[in-house]
Structures are given as structure tokens and as C-alpha cells.
């Protein structure tokens, strides 16, 4: 099983599937179809049925039940796109067998070192898949895809393992927050699901941020600087003033756990017009709403100084904390936890400091916790994943479906 997940990850990683937040299509990039079509053929080769790939890039398949018990239909999901934060073109994964705990030379100029990335010490003796130092790896979430594929293939080849109906979904555009936007929950037909989209071994998550995006636009008046006194209004200065009102400690680099943040993602400007793009995050709904209201308050202060037309703040909610929808069916988390314990994996139940497709799907009627896929330091050139962790993730999938079958009363 270990070699299967390695082979699949490396093969999938070499296919460029970066999503594009500026695109209005679904998928946001045509190249996501390249992997979707590969996976569609591979699902058929493995022996899954009811394979559908719709016009929006949502790939569904079924592993039929092989038990007479009325077992709930379980879904497993992963996303095909990789982050637009760093290059995903010409990915050349490197395999390091029996990692010795020292520096890994990715290329002549780039070293993956435990001095800078201390989690590497957790993988001594294991097989690591890394980048070549020029691209991201794409283990987020191609490791999840490899794990689901490998688990399904194993179940097909081992019919003695009894299970209910299993649904598989591979989706586009998760990295730009649109993964579930056109996901047909009714057509998928699962009672609940799991995303294989977490990080290190043991992660099990059913709490996510509440999330919003904010776009701030300031408008000024450009005048020759030699004759600007009393006439020029500098939109850049106004935008800086707006940002200086933002809390200095509630930023990603200074927060952890359940602490929320306001994160400036992009700043562009001229004297005539400047734009700031933020994301707003908090696990607590009241604190989340208060952060959005603070944006409105600062907007009003800028208007009082510069005029009503000087600034516009656009706020858009992106997803909400999935805990509210999963807690009523908490047994799906408990079974995943027991599946890990049966495999001698210590479950790490903690909130996601981000979102997964499950954040939105849970509010669409499909409760969907998140399980580890193995990647570390994702979205950049220092990304890596352990093959042993990927193998265990595939085994967790198998153990979950076994437990549901065993605990269903005929």
C-alpha cells in the first residue's frame, strides 16, 4: 500500500492544477480537467461504478455496498486544485528513503532543514516526498486523492471487508474557497462525508473558522505635486491610514489555536485609487461579526475625514464554523477517532485554522469532518509529505467503513 500511495502522489503532483481566484469559470482553470480526466479513467480501472464528471468539474463515483446491513452511505472527498500562492508548474517530486534527520538539499540554492522546519524530526526513518525547491508539491490535496484511490482499490480487492455504500468525490477550486459552490449534495447522495485534507498524522477536525473577505477601495484626487497644496487627496495615504486602524496583534503571524485574525492579503494603489484585500477569520461567531463591524466603523471614520465618496468597504462571507452542523451527528467524529486508535494513531482533535470543503458542505446538508492527509509546510517550496503517513491515512479510510458496518444493527 505504501508504494501505491507514493506512485499515485508523484504521478498526480506532476499534473499542474493550480486554481485562479481571478477566473469566473468553474473550474477556475482548464488544467484542472487534466487530472480530473485521469482520475475518471483510474476510478473505472479500479472497479468503481456510477462514475460521473459534470460540466463544472465535480467527479463522483461509487463503491457499492457488500453487506446486507442498512449501513449509512459514507463519502470521502479530496480536491484536485493546488494553491495559487506558489508555482505548481513542472513539479518534480523528490523521494528520500529512510530520512536520516538531517538537511535535505532540494537544489543548489534551497535546503529543507530541521533547524528551520523542526517537524522534520518527526519523520526520521521514513520515506519523504519533497519538492525540488522550485515549486510547491501539491500534497494539498493530491495526497488525499492518492489515499482515497488506494483505499478504494484495496476494498475492491478485499471483498471480505464488509462495508456499506461508499461515495467518492474529487472537486475543483478548494484553494480559492469555491470548492463546494456547485457541489450537488443531492446527487452525491451520502449521509455524511470526510475530507482527506488535513496535515500531520492524527489530525481530526470538525471546527473551522467563520470566514469573510473584505475589499477596501479608497479614492483620491491626483494633482501635480508642485501645486498640490490643498488640492491633492492621496488614496494611498488614505488606505495606509485605514490599515493602521487594524489591530496589530490579531494577525496570522501572532495568533494560534482559537485566536482569530484580520489578514491583509494584497495592497495596490495610485494617488487616484488604492485597494486593500483582507480576509477575516474567527472560530467564535460573535467575535467574527464584531470584526466585520469594526471594518464598518473604520470606514465611517475615514468618510468623516475625507468624505462619503472617499472609501468603500465590501464585505462577503465565505464560510462558517462547521462545528454547529457536525455536533448533532458527533458520532461520525467519534468513529473516525476510534478508527485512528485501532491503528495505534493518537487522534489530534483540534480546530482548523482555515477552511476545507467540509466547512461549506456541512451547511449544505452534508456533515463533513476533516482527516489528516499528511502534508507539512504546504503551499510553498518546502512542502513535504511522509509516505508512511499517507499509507496510514488510507488505512483510516478502510477502518472507518469497517466500523460503520460492524456497528450497524441488522
Report CA Rg, the chain: 23
| Domain around 255 | 210-318
Q: Are residues 168 and 101 in the same domain?
A: yes
Is 256 annotated as catalytic? Answer: no
* Stretch (H or E) spanning 60: strand 59-63
Q: Are residues 83 and 224 in the same domain?
A: no
79 is in an annotated binding site: yes
* Model confidence pLDDT, tens digit, residues 88-125: 999 999 999 999 999 999 999 999 999 999 999 999 99
Q: Are residues 270 and 326 in the same domain?
A: no
Going by pLDDT thresholds of 50, 70 and 90, the confidence category of residue 352 is confident
* Given 81, 141, 299, 391, the catalytic residue: 81
CATH of the domain at 237: 3.30.70.360
* Given 174, 357, 383, 391, the catalytic residue: 174
pTM: 0.87
Is 81 annotated as catalytic? Answer: yes
Q: Are 287 and 325 in contact (CB under 8 A)?
A: no
Going by pLDDT thresholds of 50, 70 and 90, the confidence category of residue 354 is confident
Q: Are residues 140 and 61 in the same domain?
A: yes
Q: Are residues 178 and 90 in the same domain?
A: yes
pLDDT at 389: 98
Q: Are residues 38 and 94 in the same domain?
A: yes
The answer on pLDDT for 332 being more than 80 is yes
pLDDT at 319: 87
197 is in an annotated binding site: yes
Span 202-218, average pLDDT: 95
Q: Are residues 8 and 55 in the same domain?
A: yes
Q: Which of 291, 318, 345 represents a domain boundary (last residue)?
A: 318
Determine the Cα angle at 92 with ends 8 and 194, to 5°.
40
Q: Which of 286, 318, 350 represents a domain boundary (last residue)?
A: 318
pLDDT at 87: 92
Span 185-193, average pLDDT: 97
CATH of the domain at 139: 3.40.630.10
Going by pLDDT thresholds of 50, 70 and 90, the confidence category of residue 353 is confident
Q: Are residues 24 and 99 in the same domain?
A: yes
For residues 336, 339, 345, 346, the Cα torsion angle rounded to the nearest 10 degrees is: 50
Q: Evaluate the CA torsion angle 304, 306, 312, 317 in order and state its sign.
A: negative
243 is in an annotated binding site: no
Q: Are residues 63 and 203 in the same domain?
A: yes
Q: Are residues 61 and 157 in the same domain?
A: yes
Going by pLDDT thresholds of 50, 70 and 90, the confidence category of residue 143 is very high
Q: Are residues 295 and 362 in the same domain?
A: no
Q: Are residues 34 and 90 in the same domain?
A: yes
What are the CA-CA distances from residue 129 to residues 43, 97, 362, 389 (Å)? 24, 9, 32, 11
Q: Which of 281, 302, 318 represents a domain boundary (last residue)?
A: 318
The number of domains in the chain is: 2
Amino acid at each position: 500500500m505504501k508504494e501505491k500511495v507514493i506512485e499515485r502522489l508523484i504521478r498526480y503532483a506532476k499534473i499542474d492544477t493550480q486554481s485562479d481566484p481571478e477566473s469566473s469559470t468553474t473550474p477556475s482553470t482548464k488544467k484542472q480537467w487534466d487530472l480530473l480526466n485521469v482520475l475518471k479513467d483510474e476510478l473505472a480501472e479500479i472497479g468503481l461504478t456510477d462514475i460521473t464528471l459534470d460540466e463544472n468539474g465535480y467527479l463522483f463515483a461509487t463503491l457499492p455496498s457488500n453487506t446486507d446491513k442498512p449501513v449509512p452511505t459514507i463519502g470521502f472527498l479530496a480536491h484536485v486544485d493546488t494553491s495559487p500562492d506558489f508555482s505548481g508548474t513542472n513539479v518534480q517530486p523528490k523521494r528520500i528513503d529512510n530520512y536520516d534527520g538531517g538537511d535535505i538539499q532540494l537544489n543548489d540554492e534551497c535546503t529543507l532543514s530541521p533547524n528551520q522546519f523542526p517537524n522534520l524530526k518527526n519523520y526520521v526513518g521514513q520515506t519523504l516526498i519533497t519538492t525540488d525547491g522550485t515549486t510547491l508539491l501539491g500534497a494539498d490535496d493530491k495526497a488525499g486523492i492518492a489515499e482515497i484511490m488506494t483505499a478504494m482499490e484495496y476494498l475492491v480487492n478485499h471483498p471480505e471487508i464488509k462495508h456499506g455504500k461508499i461515495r467518492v468525490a474529487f472537486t475543483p477550486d478548494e484553494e480559492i474557497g469555491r470548492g463546494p459552490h456547485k457541489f450537488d449534495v443531492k446527487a452525491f447522495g451520502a449521509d455524511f462525508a470526510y475530507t482527506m485534507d488535513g496535515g500531520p498524522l492524527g489530525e481530526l477536525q470538525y471546527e473551522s473558522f467563520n470566514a469573510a473577505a473584505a475589499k477596501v477601495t479608497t479614492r483620491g484626487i491626483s494633482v501635480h505635486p508642485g501645486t498640490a497644496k490643498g488640492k491633492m487627496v492621496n488614496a494611498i495615504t488614505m488606505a495606509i491610514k485605514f490599515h493602521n486602524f487594524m489591530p496589530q496583534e490579531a494577525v496570522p503571524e501572532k495568533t494560534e489555536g482559537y485566536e482569530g485574525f484580520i489578514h491583509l492579503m494584497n495592497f495596490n494603489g495610485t494617488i487616484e485609487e488604492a485597494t486593500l484585500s483582507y480576509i477575516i477569520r474567527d472560530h467564535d461567531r460573535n467575535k467574527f461579526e464584531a470584526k466585520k463591524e469594526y471594518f464598518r466603523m473604520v470606514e465611517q471614520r475615514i468618510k468623516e475625514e475625507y468624505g462619503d465618496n472617499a472609501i468603500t468597504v465590501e464585505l462577503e462571507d465565505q464560510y462558517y464554523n462547521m462545528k454547529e452542523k457536525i455536533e448533532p451527528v458527533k458520532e461520525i467524529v467519534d468513529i473516525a477517532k476510534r478508527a485512528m486508535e485501532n491503528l495505534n494513531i493518537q487522534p489530534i482533535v483540534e480546530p482548523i485554522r482555515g477552511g476545507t470543503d467540509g466547512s461549506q458542505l456541512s451547511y449544505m446538508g452534508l456533515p463533513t469532518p476533516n482527516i489528516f492527509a499528511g502534508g507539512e509546510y504546504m503551499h510553498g517550496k518546502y512542502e513535504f509529505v511522509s509516505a508512511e503517513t499517507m499509507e496510514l491515512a488510507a488505512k483510516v479510510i478502510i477502518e472507518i467503513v469497517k466500523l460503520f458496518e460492524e456497528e450497524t444493527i441488522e
